Structure 1
Amino acid sequence: MQLRKATMADFDQIITILKDGANQLAERGVNQWQGDYPSKGQIKEDIEQGWAFLAESDDHETVGAIAIVDGPDHVYDHLDGQWLCDTDNYVVIHRVAIKSNHAGKGYATQLLQAVINDVKDNRDEIDSVRIDTHEDNKAMQHLIDKMGFTKVGLLHGVYRPNETSYVYELKK
C-alpha cells in the first residue's frame, strides 16, 4: 500500500470514491455521509491544504482515499471526553473510503497502518493520531480498535445535527 498526495486532477476520482463509500454505508444501514458531508468544498480544501491522499495497491491501482489533517482540528473543539495527549501536535484521519470493488481485501487496515507507520517513522513532532466515526459504523469502529486506538470520547452534532461520533486516539 502506497499513499500518493492528491492534486486537483484527482478531485473527481476522490468524489467518486467517497460517494461509493457513502453508498456502502447506506447499504449497511449506517446513516453516515448520507447528507452533504463530505462536501465538494471539503474535498477541494483537503487537496489545496495537502491533506488528501489516494491509496494505491502494490500493483498501482487506486483502491481508496483518505484525508490526513494536521492538528489542531476544530472538529474536536467540543470533545465530550479527554485526550490521551494534551497537545496540538497530532494528525487526524478523516474521510476514509475504500472502493466497493476492493472492499473486504484488507485495504482499509493497510491504509491506516500506512498512516500510523508514516507518523512514527517520519513525523517526530507528532504526539498522536486521532480519528472519529459515526456511532453506527461498527465496521470502522472494529478497524480502529484493531489498530490499537483508544476511545477517548464523543462528538455531538459536529457533522450533522443529532449525530454522535466516537472519537479515538493513538499515542505515538
Structure 2
Amino acid sequence: MEIKIANKNNIKSILEIINQAKLYMKEIDLNQWDETYPNTQTISYDIENDVNYILVDNEKIIGTFVLIFGEDETYKNIEGSWKTNSSYGTLHRVAIHNDYKGKNLAKLILDFSMEKALEKNIHSLRIDTHQKNLSMKRFIEKSNFDYCGIIYVSDGTPRIAFEKTF
C-alpha cells in the first residue's frame, strides 16, 4: 500500500471512487457532493496543482484525497474559532473505493498528511464535513480532531469544521 501524487492518467479511477461516494451520499440523503461537484474539472485542477493524492494497493487506486498547505479561502470566516492562527494543511475530498471501506485506510491518509505537514514545519491540519456525513464525522472524531465551529462553502451551505494539532 502506498500513497503518491496523482497524475492526469489517474483521473478516470479517481472519478470512479468519487462517483461511488456521490452515490452513497445520495442514498443516505446527503447533499455534500452532487452531480456537479466534485467533477473532472475539479480533479484536473487538483492534479495540475499537485495537491491530489491517491492511495494505491497492488497498482489499483483505492482512495483519493486532496492535501493543501496555505490559507484556505473557505476557512477565513468561521462561526467559532480555530485552535491555531499559524500555518496549516487542509484535507479535502477524501474518498475510499467501496471495496476497501472499513479497513482503516483513512488513518493512513491522516498519518501521511501529518508527515507531509511536519516536513514543512506545520503542526496543524483542518478538515470540514457536512453535518449528516456520519462516516467522515466518525473518522474525524476517532482521529482526535477538535470541533472548531461552522464554515460556509462556496455555495453558501454550512459545514462543521475541525482542527488537529500535533
Identity %: 27
Unpaired runs of at least 5, structure 1: none
Unpaired runs of at least 5, structure 2: none
Runs of 4+ off more than 3 Å: none
The CA deviation string for residues 97-152 of structure 1, in whole angstroms up to 9 with x for no partner, is 001111122222322232223323x222x131110001110110110111111111
Partner in structure 2 of residue 113 of structure 1: 111
Distance 2:60 2:109 in 1: 14
Distance 1:123 1:2 in 2: 21
Are 1:146 and 2:129 matched, yes or no?
no
Are 1:136 and 2:128 matched, yes or no?
no
Q: Residue 35 of structure 1: CA displacement?
A: 4.3
Are 1:42 and 2:36 matched, yes or no?
no
* Aligned residue pairs, count: 166
The CA deviation string for residues 68-94 of structure 1, in whole angstroms up to 9 with x for no partner, is 01121111122222111112x211000
Partner in structure 1 of residue 123 of structure 2: 127
AA paired with 1:142? Answer: R
Report the RMSD for the aligned CA atoms in angstroms.
Answer: 1.7
AA paired with 2:127? Answer: I
Distance 2:101 2:123 in 1: 31
AA paired with 1:95? Answer: R
Distance 2:2 2:163 in 1: 23
Partner in structure 2 of residue 13 of structure 1: 13
* SS of residue paired to 1:53: strand
AA paired with 1:160? Answer: D
Distance 1:76 1:35 in 2: 24
Distance 1:8 1:61 in 2: 15
Distance 1:132 1:160 in 2: 15
Q: Verify the 8 A CA contact 2:14 2:61 in the aligned structure 1.
A: no
Partner in structure 2 of residue 104 of structure 1: 102
Q: Verify the 8 A CA contact 1:130 1:169 in the aligned structure 2.
A: yes
AA paired with 1:76? Answer: Y
Q: Verify the 8 A CA contact 1:69 1:91 in the aligned structure 2.
A: yes
Partner in structure 2 of residue 70 of structure 1: 69
* SS of residue paired to 1:38: coil
Task: Decide whether aligned partners of structure 1 residues 127 and 107 sit closer, same or farther in structure 2, where only a CA change above 3 A counts.
Answer: closer
Aligned counterpart for 1:160 among listed residues 111, 135, 155: 155
Distance 1:81 1:60 in 2: 42
* SS of residue paired to 1:136: coil
Could you state the TM-score of these two structures normalised by the residue count of structure 2? 0.90
Could you state the TM-score of these two structures normalised by the residue count of structure 1? 0.88
